[in-house]
Structure 1
Amino acid sequence: MRRPRPHRPAPAGPPVELFIEAMGGEGDGVAAGGVYVPFSLQGERVRATGGGERRELLEVLQASPDRVTPPCPHFGVCGGCALQHWAHAPYLAWKAERLRVTLARQHLDTEILPAYAAPPESRRRFALHARRGSREAARAGYKARKSWDLVDVAVCPISDRGLQAAIPALKRLAAPLFEHPKSAPTLHTTLTATGLDVDISGVEAKSGGLSADARMQVAERAAEADLARVTIGGEVAYLARMPQVRLGPAVVSLPPGAFLQATPGAEAAMSAFVAEAAQGASRIADLYCGVGTFTFRLAQIGQVHAADFAAEAVGALTSALASAPGLHGVTAEARDLVRRPVLAEELKKTDVAVFDPPRAGAAEQAAELARSGVARVIGVSCNPATFARDARTLVDAGFRLERVLPVDQFLWSTHIELVGVFSR
């Protein structure tokens, strides 16, 4: 059997002048012949280099009126943001149009509401990749664009100022983590009501993990920075106080690595939208509930049964019930909703079902919702393509997709999220 030949980029020719006719699905400008130029905008005349269908921008010869000055000094080198050069209104309209096109591919036509847009400096979590630096401070930042190289960041204008201010302390925290040459730590950092929660992955463990001395240094530097908690591979390395967040009427203590919506504002907007759509229900299913992003707010409306594959998240949700008196009642279970979705027969007395799956979607659970007698379904998604697939299953079973709220909480990326409301 012949081995496949490795991909080789098309040979680069001399720089060429191109007119950008449209914006592609990943935020690149598109010229005639399907040539993509990153960091260009529709209507611009640019000079680009490279070969094949993907080029690199050399110079903007005639700028679009929608071009703005990027606010981040790392933009263009850092692989995090793709669209800081685009004015906010057309950028947001482009995201909503991409969502409409994605739904249309599944022949779904619905009302698309004005998008919720997260402002700068609003993200409460980021993941800093660390590389060996000095004994006092590691290098830390984001992956470079189209590379495994590291951009050693000093600021990050999408992130909360509390996270930005912590970058020097996080670099100090990471310095003792390189005892093994294969260690490539990532510091998953979340800003909570009680301080920063840092969950570290990528520390080589086969050799026995960190030495006692290195762990002591991590704890000392966490204390210097007044971090709430540091975990390494999910195990506690330092704990001053439990990281906590308020979700509606409840205060939740987070398990290590717990999922939260990226911005508190988006979480509030999505929760309000979900709660409004669930009004009048007496029994509600909250599927893929996590630590209770929607559960506690829904329990102010009716009785809730919550389910999620992550037992730690369900445990945190259950423990938080005591902090939220006056709820209509919550039951919760750890359950793999792919291998064991909540069946239509189990949903007989359910009025409203909410599902908020990972990027892969909820194909198996959507099939059971389609078979059920549930009157209203609310879908929350970080992936419009899998949402559209699951929506098609529901619509084919007699549901109507009434309206969709686009949610832009990953500012200046090509990513768009949504909440959709279905009724029989």
Structure 2
Amino acid sequence: MRGPKRRFQGGGRPSPRPPPGPPVELTIQSVGGEGDGVAAGPVFVPFTLPGERVRAQGSGDRLELMEVLEPSAERIAPICPHFGSCGGCALQHWSHEPYLAWKVSRLAGTLARERIETEILAPYAAGPATRRRVTLHARRGDRDMARLGYKARKSWDLVDIAVCPIAHPTIQAAIPALKRLAARLFEHPKSAPSLHVTLTDAGLDIDITGVEAKSGGLSADARMQLAERAAEAGFVRVTLGGEVAYMAHAPHVRLGPARVILPAGGFLQATKDAETAMADFVAAQAAGATRIADLFCGVGTFTFRLAEIAPTHAADSAPEAVAALMSALSTAPGLKGVTAEARDLARRPLLVHDLRHIDVAVFDPPRAGAAEQTAELARSGVSRVIGVSCNPATFARDARTLIDAGFTLERLLPVDQFLWSPHVELVGVFTR
């Protein structure tokens, strides 16, 4: 995309007027942690790439891109018509290889801040149209169709989407039906619904949050119409804050050898292929174990595969997730054995005594990390720890705890399943 200077065209609707402040010409030196280009100052300009000369406008250290004067050879045309206004994607304008290399370098930099070096393996990268889990926000439209989409960039406004190139084609095809479904959710003026859409092996499962409940929630008539529209669309289940409003049959997914019925709003990895890549890697690194702990296990993303290797004890703070895991055991004959408990591992981590027979521990915590549980693992006799993380910063903190206790971070697999965003996930392997 080299050529003469060009106005920025992100694909979305342009700003109605330029931001305050005089226009300035800048040379972009790097890409920052949130995906914005960084010029000397530092000054941050979204939708720019290293080496580009741009015209930007605004005040303070965060400007808006007005024009690309000298584009990078790495600049490509974004594939989404909403790119630039939608807050979901930040990096559709960057060609794939340098984009992925940037994510890996950010990960290495985060580890370096904790004085950690390790072998970083070739990253797993999800492709477009693979996301099986999205959250769409709804706003009042007309009686038959709500406005539905993602938050606008740096705003609470909504970008009403027609397509979403990151989402699985089944989800994309359902956008009109989801807008029809959401139109029945606005009986109360304070309702600001979000539709948490998950593609299961049975079809689409939708958990709705943000419907005003203090006034009594939806009326019986609105619930009836919600169910009718769900049936017309062929959705498998619709829940309101976890309560079933419509169900044709139970939404289920295959996790290794097990068939798991998901609890309402249950967590899954964002893409099926990334889940498989991570689970295969975790299982390979756990090979040879005699007893395994799967901590922050959820509905069993890794549990069932680990239990094919050795007896596995699973723990998670969500009772409904643990119940779903245990119910699925009957669908997976031949496992070495699974025990599970609902346990808040931040308040009540498995202690050294609980870990005395464990030789391999896997942890996959939320973004806050696993500081309390890592401290117990560091004091235990566990010989191998496999850490899965959606937050490299808290992973690096927890890794430092293990390393200070005598572990070595031997290798790390970067995982890019949040395509065109700044987020990167990982799986790290520690041994004593």
Smaller-chain TM-score bracket: over 0.9
Distance 1:211 1:159 in 2: 32
Aligned-residue offset at 1:14: 1.7
Give the partner amino acid of 2:166: I
Residue in 2 that maps onto 1:206: 214
Per the normalisation by structure 2, the TM-score is: 0.95
Distance 1:12 1:143 in 2: 23
Matched, 1:285 2:293: yes
Matched, 1:194 2:202: yes
Q: 1:82 aligns with which of 68, 83, 90?
A: 90
Aligned-residue offset at 1:88: 0.3
Query: 1:245-324 counterparts in 2 under 5 A?
Result: 245-324=253-332
Residue in 1 that maps onto 2:40: 32
Give the partner amino acid of 2:367: R
Residue in 1 that maps onto 2:174: 166
Give the partner amino acid of 1:324: A
Aligned-residue offset at 1:275: 0.3
Matched, 1:351 2:356: no
Distance 1:219 1:26 in 2: 40
Residue in 1 that maps onto 2:399: 391
Q: 1:228 aligns with which of 201, 225, 236?
A: 236
Q: 2:245 aligns with which of 213, 237, 261?
A: 237
CA deviation profile, 1:259-303 (whole Å, cap 9, x unmatched):
000000100000011000000001000000000000000000000
Distance 1:290 1:351 in 2: 21
Structure 2 SS opposite 1:345 = coil
Number of aligned residue pairs: give it.
Answer: 414
Matched, 1:335 2:343: yes
Distance 2:301 2:408 in 1: 25
Distance 1:21 1:214 in 2: 54
Q: 2:144 aligns with which of 132, 136, 139?
A: 136
Distance 2:396 2:296 in 1: 18
Matched, 1:325 2:336: no
Query: 1:57-96 counterparts in 2 under 5 A?
Result: 57-96=65-104
Residue in 1 that maps onto 2:63: 55
Give the partner amino acid of 2:171: L
Structure 2 SS opposite 1:403 = strand
Structure 2 SS opposite 1:281 = coil
Query: 1:108-123 counterparts in 2 under 5 A?
Result: 108-123=116-131
Structure 2 SS opposite 1:13 = coil
Task: Flag structure 1 segments of 5+ consecutive residues without an equivalent.
Answer: 1-10
Residue in 1 that maps onto 2:9: none
CA deviation profile, 1:244-265 (whole Å, cap 9, x unmatched):
0000000000000000000001
Aligned-residue offset at 1:13: 2.7
Structure 2 SS opposite 1:407 = strand
Aligned-residue offset at 1:361: 0.2
Aligned-residue offset at 1:12: 3.5
Worse-superposed segment, 33-42 or 316-325: 33-42
Residue in 2 that maps onto 1:411: 419
The alignment-based identity, stated in percent, is 74
Structure 1 SS opposite 2:353 = helix
Residue in 1 that maps onto 2:24: 16
Give the partner amino acid of 1:328: K
Aligned-residue offset at 1:131: 0.7
Q: 1:100 aligns with which of 99, 108, 112?
A: 108
Distance 1:21 1:232 in 2: 47
Per the normalisation by structure 1, the TM-score is: 0.97
Residue in 1 that maps onto 2:160: 152
Distance 1:31 1:196 in 2: 44
CA deviation profile, 1:339-382 (whole Å, cap 9, x unmatched):
10001111111110000000000000000000000010000000
Structure 2 SS opposite 1:59 = strand
Aligned-residue offset at 1:31: 1.1
Give the partner amino acid of 1:15: P
Matched, 1:422 2:430: yes
Q: 2:390 aligns with which of 382, 389, 393?
A: 382
Structure 1 SS opposite 2:206 = strand
CA deviation profile, 1:110-143 (whole Å, cap 9, x unmatched):
0011110000000001111011111111111110
Residue in 1 that maps onto 2:5: none
Matched, 1:362 2:376: no
Give the partner amino acid of 1:217: Q
Distance 1:231 1:25 in 2: 36
Give the partner amino acid of 1:79: G
Give the partner amino acid of 1:388: A
Task: Flag structure 2 segments of 5+ consecutive residues without an equivalent.
Answer: 1-18
Structure 2 SS opposite 1:422 = strand
Distance 1:290 1:31 in 2: 42
Residue in 2 that maps onto 1:5: none
* Runs of 4+ residues over 3 Å off in structure 1: none
Distance 1:199 1:227 in 2: 11
